[in-house]
Structure 1
Amino acid sequence: MPQIHTPLLAPVDGHRNVTDLLVRRAEKAPDHAAFDVATGDGSWQQISTASFLHEVQRLAKGFIAAGIRPGDALAIMASTRFEWAVTDLAAWFAGAVVVPVYETSSPVQVAGIVRDAGVVLGVGGTEAQTSRLIDAFAETGTGGLGAYAMDPRERVTGGIPTLDELRSRADEVTDADLERHRTAADLDAAATIVYTSGTTGEPKGAVLTHRNFLGQVLNIAAAYGEVVHEGGNTIIFLPLAHVLARGLQLICLANGMRIAHLSDPSTVVETLSVLRPTFLVVVPRVLERIQAAAAQKAEAAHLTRVWRAAVATAVAGGRASEQSADGRAPASVRHRLFEALFYRRLRAVMGGRVDYILSGGARLDPEVSLFFRGIGVPVIEGYGLTETTAPLTGNLPGDIRAGTVGRPLPGSTVRIGDDGEILAKGIGVFRGYRDSAHDADAFVDGFFRTGDLGRFDAEGRLIIVGRVKDVIVTSTGKTIVPAPWEFAVEADPLVSHAVMVGEGRSFLTALIVVDPEEVAARQGATPADGRLHEIPDEDLRARIQRRIDAANALVSRSEQVRRFTLIAADLADTTIITPTLKIKRRILLERGSDVVAALYS
């Protein structure tokens, strides 16, 4: 079986646990700005590493005073915000195991998580989020130490306590007691229990250790020193309940890269121009939207043909950069023209200082990657899962290949099984699920089964092919991997999700979930009743038909979709969309059974 290993760049044995990252950084550069924090009046205040450490220590003492013991589970349910970072580190300083809960989780999901993890104390962001934790505690008999809100007292009513009340108890705990709690966990102790998104089944609690986090933080920082450094800054707007955002936060904190948090992704563009980050982590949809917005502006200015030429020139430049020895391509006359017309303005939209963008969470269209590289903002695509403590593979600065997710990162081994499944072993691979019954099918020969299909290119870079459980077997005996066709269709900004159908059928069809903004523009609102709604819009259908035809041209005849239906769905509904914005295929097909039946009638 093909297998590639990348040795460790940085050992972890010199650390006790994750908290050492903050302690050592504060000793090295106490006055360095670690965070940009919104003040509420539109401005931003810088918080030093020493100040952050002090806040963490005070809250940790409050947790201990409230009764937290080493190994206790502490839940955090909040949007991405500075207080999330404080609470996360404070929980670790108190010796607790952090259990993140997505703010979009339903009451049933919240109750299931706190019950399974045995949560003893909860922290919510707002009053509403804290109330949801309180309700879950009451239903499950957990949360014996209560729930507290991050919001200050003036924004919380109904008798819900706040973190300020815990901080006020800091004097009850000595520095020596805090240090005993902080150092109670060793490298192989559980640091967090992260419940997977559950695209193909019920969420499972992945137990990630301090060794997992430290191994990833130290080795990714060593591999990406050009990206993460003291002179840089970033904005985190991905959910901190996701391991990728938390891992990024730790890497930046340990290496002096200033962090700002945004809870509302709709404010990202205006914030970029203020904070001017040097590095961003996004999902592919963000890049697709930036490009689509530029296309719309060009169309409004009657410059569509010019814009298309600019895109083609940028893609060609990106491709030439990949082939050049120094990663650069000579600027042509056309490139200089489009630099003045478009490229410079697009970089300004992103703040004007972005050196690199990391794209993860879903597949990125290679043409989009090449376009951004061509305008001067290289996109680093990586691949990983909750169970691998975020990135498992990644392209590196100066060695980026669009359409791949790079080679194994330091300390990781990737193997391709006989059936094409990607198997993983290494410093970031978790120790197992909280329920050990789930481990039996999760590992083979000591390797974690990712559930994804992949292959290596000639230079050892990983290419994602699809999901094992998404494979379709038609009534004619053909085995179809739907991902390549679906990826091609989803590259269209009009399409949020493309779901191929055909299990046990004689030919393939598809449900096309239209972008909610497009639905709202045409119908005035997106559905919010949990049902799927067909969209009888012939103009929209004709536009998407062109993308369907292009996708069909990329695959063999047996893999082509013959019929499709446009669907409007509530993509805020967590019963069909995971917190990481992946479609729950089984649920969608169950709800759309009548629509599917009509496609085959």
Structure 2
Amino acid sequence: MREFSLPALYEVPADGNLTDIVRRNAAQHPDVAVISRKVAGAWQDVTARDFLTEVRAAAKGLIASGVQPGDRVGLMSRTRYEWTLLDFAIWCAGAITVPVYETSSPEQVRWILSDSGATACVVESAGHAAAVESVRERLPALKHVWQIDAGAVEELGRLGQDVTDRTVEERGSIAKADDPATIVYTSGTTGRPKGCVLTHRSFFAECGNVVERLRPLFRTGECSVLLFLPLAHVFGRLVQVAPMIAPIKLGCVPDIKNLTDELAAFRPTLILGVPRVFEKVYNSARAKAQADGKGGIFDKAADTAIAYSKALDTPSGPSVGLKIKHKVFDKLVYGKLRTVLGGRGEYAISGGAPLGERLGHFFRGIGFTVLEGYGLTESCAATAFNPWDRQKIGTVGQPLPGSVVRIADDGEVLLHGEHLFKEYWNNPDATAEALADGWFHTGDIGTLDEDGYLRITGRKKEIIVTAGGKNVAPAVIEDRIRAHALVAECMVVGDGRPFVGALVTIDEEFLGRWCADHGKPAGSTAASLRDDPDLLAAVQSAIDDGNSAVSKAESVRKFRVLSAQFTEDSGHLTPSLKLKRNVVAKDYVDEIEAIYAK
């Protein structure tokens, strides 16, 4: 058993709650832009003073509508300014926010609102309103539904005109640090999602310590962050609350479809995202270079960036020759890539899944360091992350200051600290199982090095045991295979089988470009090309790269290319883009059997 901890850098208020942040910002930084919203396609800054005014107005409407202290209020919307505004308004009304993914089915909506006992709900669109309405007869506690696109914020403002500022102040001060701030429902890779109760203390301990440990990235009046992650996911909430604590300017966009344009317009100094975002930046840049006949230059530049980054970790550092090559490519390639990322940023934080060492070295080598972290809903997002000044690529960093990471005898990662969740809502048995002996059992397998840097190697429940008795952790090889531009998803199989196999889906966004480069008919699909020798050879190169990271017994010997991608709509991915392995295994049982057919 091994454990590591760091002292807390942020003092959690003894009796305060998250509404204190907006009041403090308005008092201490009244004219500082703490958030920015899109108006007619242009960014419009909102000062700390004005944000507090808008939060209070919405809170008054909730209070006037009968929302009581401790009530649960659903919030179903894409990431946008109003999400953050309403989140703080719900807290100012003394209530508890219950996020609902905007992609949720009516049955999922029913479960979350019913299980939480929500008395009110704010949705974004008419489609969301229809989803709630379709199950409303099974939601007896639900009294109000407001729609953002139909003027919910303005309506709440009108409803609350007779409520005084003093009433809001009194309501906003009712919740104490250990009271629930939100109930975040886990994505649910198996079974029904569980409601994870996160307190105001959880967020203060989490976000306050992240800000203090990464203080150069959170300079008030200088720094900014663009939020494009779903706010129903706990990582999105970290990206929302931490800038408010700092405070630095926060911008919100609904997705990553036009991310390059949004980055260019907002020009953030800090980006927080998931590995797929950084993979797409790399793959798109490489594909564009190839289309322009500069693929060879890009590949040499990438190799130089990686070599340069690796040399930074050696006692002697980069050689003179490597420095010269790096300087040349900085003008030819790296500067353009940094411009794509907004042009002002030097750092990003990546979480949600492993980034991969090659990608980590590539980005640091071009002058844009991606700090990898690790966390769960139960740990209020990051429970470990790489410090800005002592990064170890390939690890998820050191424990959150003020917390402890322990590796149990069986390799499971255990956590302790103020940032942890309080309980699973209405589920004492699951709570007792997860919080045994005062430690949260993550279900992840990992190691700690002598400096306290954590490395995640797999999930306990996902460990595959082959017929030969070899234990295989899928994450290592899957992440490596998925790094290939042509691969969307990869799922390793082989439990009880003679060898390891894999199901592979093709990235539809990249496929068209690949077809053009390889003389395939325009409009070709993964289904039409799944037996194409060139496509299979390309996927095999990704498999070979993945196999190079593991032992021979763990390597993939056969694979099958599937006709369609795994998506949330198909039921194979959670809203946070994690594989639902049991669903995939059930739906593609014939494909798996084909791998092992003699």
TM > 0.5? yes
What code does the residue aligned with 1:565 have?
Answer: R
The answer (yes or no) to whether the contact 2:4–2:405 under 8 Å persists in 1 is yes
The answer (yes or no) to whether the contact 1:234–1:277 under 8 Å persists in 2 is yes
Partners of 1:116 and 1:329 lie apart in 2 by 62
Summarize the alignment of residues 197-596 of structure 1 with structure 2, pairs less than 5 Å apart.
197-230=187-220, 231-323=222-314, 332-434=323-425, 435-518=427-510, 524=523, 535-567=530-562, 568-573=564-569, 575-596=571-592
Partners of 2:187 and 2:320 lie apart in 1 by 41
The answer (yes or no) to whether the contact 1:75–1:123 under 8 Å persists in 2 is yes
Secondary structure of 2:30's partner? coil
Give the Å deviation of 1:26: 1.0
Secondary structure of 1:290's partner? helix
The answer (yes or no) to whether the contact 1:61–1:173 under 8 Å persists in 2 is yes
Partners of 2:315 and 2:446 lie apart in 1 by 27
58-67 or 294-303, which deviates more: 294-303
What code does the residue aligned with 1:494 have?
Answer: L
Instruction: Please name the residue that 1:13 is paired with.
Output: 13
The answer (yes or no) to whether the contact 1:322–1:400 under 8 Å persists in 2 is no
The answer (yes or no) to whether the contact 2:273–2:349 under 8 Å persists in 1 is yes
The answer (yes or no) to whether the contact 2:59–2:90 under 8 Å persists in 1 is yes
Partners of 1:29 and 1:549 lie apart in 2 by 54
Instruction: Please name the residue that 2:103 is paired with.
Output: 104
Partners of 1:404 and 1:242 lie apart in 2 by 23
Q: Deviations over 1:211-235 (max 9, x none)?
A: 1011112211111111112111111
Partners of 1:209 and 1:103 lie apart in 2 by 23
Give the Å deviation of 1:58: 0.5
The answer (yes or no) to whether the contact 2:529–2:535 under 8 Å persists in 1 is no
Partners of 1:307 and 1:30 lie apart in 2 by 46
What code does the residue aligned with 1:426 have?
Answer: G
Give the Å deviation of 1:266: 1.3
Instruction: Please name the residue that 1:54 is paired with.
Output: 53
Give the Å deviation of 1:286: 1.2
Q: Give the TM-score, by structure 2 length.
A: 0.94
Give the Å deviation of 1:478: 2.2
Secondary structure of 1:414's partner? strand
Give the Å deviation of 1:248: 1.8
After superposition, the CA RMSD in angstroms is 2.1
What code does the residue aligned with 2:25 have?
Answer: R
Instruction: Please name the residue that 2:519 is paired with.
Output: none
Secondary structure of 1:317's partner? helix
Secondary structure of 1:191's partner? strand
Q: Deviations over 1:117-169 (max 9, x none)?
A: 0010000011211222233332332312x10011244xxxxxxxx33222102
Partners of 1:174 and 1:104 lie apart in 2 by 36
Partners of 1:86 and 1:400 lie apart in 2 by 34
Q: Deviations over 1:492-545 (max 9, x none)?
A: 121122111111112221111222324566684879xxxx99923321111010
What code does the residue aligned with 1:178 have?
Answer: V
What code does the residue aligned with 1:113 have?
Answer: I
The answer (yes or no) to whether the contact 1:519–1:526 under 8 Å persists in 2 is yes
Instruction: Please name the residue that 2:518 is paired with.
Output: none
What code does the residue aligned with 1:459 have?
Answer: D
Partners of 2:174 and 2:316 lie apart in 1 by 49
The answer (yes or no) to whether the contact 2:5–2:452 under 8 Å persists in 1 is no
Give the Å deviation of 1:185: 0.7
The answer (yes or no) to whether the contact 2:35–2:249 under 8 Å persists in 1 is yes
Give the Å deviation of 1:308: 1.5
The answer (yes or no) to whether the contact 2:486–2:511 under 8 Å persists in 1 is no
1:24 aligns with 2:45: no
337-346 or 518-527, which deviates more: 518-527
The answer (yes or no) to whether the contact 1:317–1:329 under 8 Å persists in 2 is no
Summarize the alignment of residues 37-116 of structure 1 with structure 2, pairs less than 5 Å apart.
37-40=37-40, 42-116=41-115
Partners of 2:141 and 2:511 lie apart in 1 by 42
Give the Å deviation of 1:318: 1.2
Q: Deviations over 1:168-195 (max 9, x none)?
A: 0222222222122111111111110000
Instruction: Please name the residue that 2:121 is paired with.
Output: 122
Give the Å deviation of 1:565: 0.2
The answer (yes or no) to whether the contact 2:446–2:454 under 8 Å persists in 1 is yes
Which consecutive residues of structure 2, in runs of 5 or more, have no partner in the other structure? 516-521
Give the Å deviation of 1:21: 1.1
Partners of 1:533 and 1:77 lie apart in 2 by 38
240-249 or 184-193, which deviates more: 240-249
The answer (yes or no) to whether the contact 1:512–1:565 under 8 Å persists in 2 is yes
The answer (yes or no) to whether the contact 1:321–1:329 under 8 Å persists in 2 is no
Q: Deviations over 1:71-106 (max 9, x none)?
A: 000000000000000100000000111000001111
351-360 or 197-206, which deviates more: 197-206
Give the Å deviation of 1:202: 2.3
Secondary structure of 1:123's partner? strand
What code does the residue aligned with 1:148 have?
Answer: W
Partners of 1:185 and 1:526 lie apart in 2 by 54
Change in CA separation of 1:112 and 1:526 when aligned onto 2, cut-off 3 Å: farther
Q: Deviations over 1:29-73 (max 9, x none)?
A: 111111221112x22111111111101000001000000000000
Secondary structure of 1:105's partner? coil
Q: Give the TM-score, by structure 1 length.
A: 0.94
The answer (yes or no) to whether the contact 1:37–1:261 under 8 Å persists in 2 is yes
Which consecutive residues of structure 1, in runs of 5 or more, have no partner in the other structure? 154-161
Secondary structure of 2:446's partner? strand
Partners of 1:350 and 1:304 lie apart in 2 by 20
The answer (yes or no) to whether the contact 1:61–1:178 under 8 Å persists in 2 is yes
Partners of 1:319 and 1:197 lie apart in 2 by 36
Partners of 2:200 and 2:135 lie apart in 1 by 28
352-361 or 171-180, which deviates more: 171-180
Q: Deviations over 1:225-259 (max 9, x none)?
A: 11112111111000011111112211111222111
The answer (yes or no) to whether the contact 2:379–2:421 under 8 Å persists in 1 is yes
Secondary structure of 1:440's partner? helix
The answer (yes or no) to whether the contact 1:533–1:569 under 8 Å persists in 2 is no
Instruction: Please name the residue that 2:596 is paired with.
Output: 600
The answer (yes or no) to whether the contact 1:420–1:453 under 8 Å persists in 2 is yes
The answer (yes or no) to whether the contact 1:124–1:147 under 8 Å persists in 2 is yes
Change in CA separation of 1:324 and 1:251 when aligned onto 2, cut-off 3 Å: farther
462-471 or 258-267, which deviates more: 258-267
Partners of 2:74 and 2:500 lie apart in 1 by 44
What code does the residue aligned with 1:408 have?
Answer: P
Give the Å deviation of 1:377: 0.8
What code does the residue aligned with 1:234 have?
Answer: V
Partners of 1:409 and 1:394 lie apart in 2 by 7
